[in-house]
Structure 1
Amino acid sequence: MLARMVFSVPVFGWMLREAFTGPTTAKLLFILNLVLVWILAIAYFGYPAIILPALTAVPVIFTTLIVITKG
């Protein structure tokens, strides 16, 4: 149900649906688009566009390390 809601978003829904269900080329092009959008955000916003993804990745990596060491 959540996937249906996300896939129904007008601009990004069809890209996400194609990335999940499409061929490998579609997946690679989706990743390339994400990287290019991030580069454009860095060019437009500067330093915060570099720092914010790193700050959001900290809890994910921290949780992953705890799960790995917990066994």
Structure 2
Amino acid sequence: MGNNNEVVQAEDTKLIRAALQLLADHGLSAAQEAHSAAQKAIRAHDEDAYSHWREVCAKLDGRLAQTLVITSEAG
């Protein structure tokens, strides 16, 4: 079980670093940038990229990330 926990922690660390980098690059519009990247991934049918950007968006703005779930399920 410890091994799975380490994988989860590593993935969470990766997402937090991506969110922080987006904040450094885009300031207060970082969540919107992640949201836009997730939308592009949806249109490209890139599930891995969509998942990544949705989770980054969720780290920055949970409510905005929830709109992605609604959008992707409707589309």
Structure exhibiting the larger radius of gyration computed from Cα positions: 1
Q: Which structure shows the bigger proportion of residues in helix conformation?
A: 2
Using the size of structure 1 for normalisation, the TM-score is 0.40
Using the size of structure 2 for normalisation, the TM-score is 0.38
